[in-house]
Structure 1
Amino acid sequence: MIRRHRAAALLLAPFVVLFGAVFVLPIGYAVYQSLFRVRRSGLGLGPAETVFAGLSNYARVFADSAFVGSVLRVLAFGLVQVPVMLGLALLLALVLDSRVARFGRFFRLAYFLPFAIPGVIAAVLWSFLYVPGISPLVAFGENAGAKVDFLSADTILWSIGNIVTWSWTGYNMVILHTSLRSIPRELFEAAEVDGCSGLRIAWHIKIPLLRPSLTLTGVFSIIGTLQLFGEPMVLRPMASVISGGYTPVMLSYQAAFGLNDYNFAAAIAVVLALATFVFSYGFLRLSSRGT
């Protein structure tokens, strides 16, 4: 028994060390930094002094209208973008798993290919389709009598959502399609013998059995929504409506590297980490009902 425990500890040691180094320690240091602030004397020209601030940085976070607005913005973004993306991923997975599908390997690769492009590069590529004057989409709309500004205040959030959906639908499709391939084929054959059509098999058998995978992709999508950063950051020079605090992560970045207020930025990061945990846990609890 002792040898087994030692062997298990030895196998787990590399993971525990890496987990502590890249996850626990950074979070702990952020919490520590969020409890202090820099005080300057002499109208800000004197020497800086780091003093204990308690929870005052967190009070600043919740009193900051820019932070509240950025959180509401990403929540509205997630309520629309996440269901659309997962719905498309589920539809593609079901189509590829159907018997009428042909060239399955080619289309799996084609759907997954956008994920292989880094998010920043994808945002740069899509920006050429959004900027008036060089965008063929904008030119086509103008020629058709329908002027569309993808970078306006009313459309920019959904333009960002289009980039995220294009980048991540294939990734989620691969997860769902892999889960579909692990379902015993005998279940589908028995349903066909009973007279079930392909649509009824998908709705009554495949989708219910995909519930764990849908929950997993949903959690990943919620985390990614709250961490939205790269796409709006790339589009910011071309869209004046994207402010430095457009998303919570951008606000933290601006506080740290724009205003040199690292303690306030740390407090934003801690609050965002807690919000991510709350929303993810709530989604898991909601998904586990009835199981």
Structure 2
Amino acid sequence: MSKKSKQTTESKTVTTPTNPQFVTDSLQKTTGLIDKVAGLDPSSLVAGVNPLQQQAADGAAGLGADRSWLDSILKAPNLQPRSLLDNLDSYMSPYLQDVVSTSLADYDFGADKTRAAQDLELAGAGAFSGSGSSLTRSATEGELMRGRGSLAAGLRDQGFNTAANLSNMDAQRAQQTDLANLEAMFQRGNLAMGAEASDRANLGTMMSIGDTMRGIDAQERNAPISLATILAGLQGSMPYSLLHGQTTEGNATSTAKGGGFDLASWLGNNAQLAAKAFGV
């Protein structure tokens, strides 16, 4: 019988991709840029506070610090009506002294002259000590007293009206002054509130500009990452596969086992025949 031969073959193949040099250089450049970005300190990519933002923050801290204008408005007295009687005596007293007293003194002086003239007239008539002279004197005194009383009443009435008018004018002026002062106080409050609102608007504008400047700074800090991302995306979209090649290297070895009759194999395949041959 012939013996079967068994062969074992081992092989190893190595395939190496090949690209044009400009593709390799481009990929190496992008990889180097990515490695450089990976080595950055993350905190260096965070944009700091812009000076305008800091100035706006400092200004905002001082808003509302001075509210003296508001305190003055809150403590402002209520506007009270002015009465002409409050200051009436200050006008009556000078009028009574300067006008009424002087006029009555002049009247009394005139009355004395009237009495003297009457006495001379009665003396010339020879009735100085008679009953007629008494009646005449009584009638004259009555007229003089009524005249004095009428003059005094008229002067006092005129004095009251004059004093009341002057006092009323002063009360009105004082009332108008109080009202003007109160209005001026509220106007100052409105101006202060307007100035504070203007300060807020200015600080808001300053903060907005600071945000814009900080955004520009952040973009500049992240520019390397943006560039690496863009380059990687562009390279990923390039049809490099059209330029891609490969180099294959390999080796193979084979071995053969057995060169003659294999008894064990034959017995395994022909057990019955073996038993007969050996008388089993």
**Computing the radius of gyration over CA atoms, which structure comes out larger, 1 or 2?**
2
Query: What TM bracket, shorter-length normalisation?
Result: under 0.3
Q: Which has the higher contact order (CA 8 A, sep 6+)?
A: 2
Could you say which structure has the higher strand fraction?
A: 2
